[in-house]
């Protein structure tokens, strides 16, 4: 049972344009959501998070949007840069009062930004 789903395995974007990565979840008890970025042979690196009391959080070029009624979140990267090319994982936590570090991850989306 995949509780966090990233339905697009890959995304290709031109440098300078917007990248939009999507994520859906099924467990309505999740109340904290995160995006991690991963380069080959490295561990995931935290990018940005959002709690369920908000619908938007922004940090520089990165913005995360949360639609609780649709159980959907998205990550917007504007403008996209070649160095953003990596695997992006959506993650969720907090279901039923469990540890906020007990993350449920999606399968990942490979983002390629072309110069």
Partner 1 sequence: GAGVSQTPSNKVTEKGKYVELRCDPISGHTALYWYRQSLGQGPEFLIYFQGTGAADDSGLPNDRFFAVRPEGSVSTLKIQRTERGDSAVYLCASSLRGGREGSPLHFGNGTRLTVT
Contacting residues toward partner 1, per CB under 8 A: 4, 32, 34, 36, 41-46, 49, 51, 89, 91, 93, 98-108
CB of 54 to partner 1, least distance (A): 10
Nearer to partner 1, 43 or 115 (CB): 43
What are 53's two structure tokens? 């009391």
CB of 110 to partner 1, least distance (A): 11
CB of 37 to partner 1, least distance (A): 11
Distance CA 49, CA 27 (A): 17
**Is residue 35 within 8 Å of residue 90, measured between CB atoms?**
yes
């Amino acid at each position: 049972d995949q509780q966090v789903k990233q339905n697009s395995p890959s995304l290709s974007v031109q440098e300078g344009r917007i990248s939009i990565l999507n994520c859906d979840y099924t467990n309505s008890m999740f109340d904290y959501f995160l995006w991690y970025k991963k380069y080959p042979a490295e561990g995931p690196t935290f990018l940005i998070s959002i709690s369920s009391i908000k619908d938007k959080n922004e940090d520089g070029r990165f913005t995360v949007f949360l639609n609780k009624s649709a159980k959907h979140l998205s990550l917007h990267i504007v403008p996209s840069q070649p160095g953003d090319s990596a695997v992006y994982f959506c993650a969720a936590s907090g279901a039923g009062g469990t540890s906020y570090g007990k993350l449920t991850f999606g399968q990942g989306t490979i983002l390629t930004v072309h110069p």
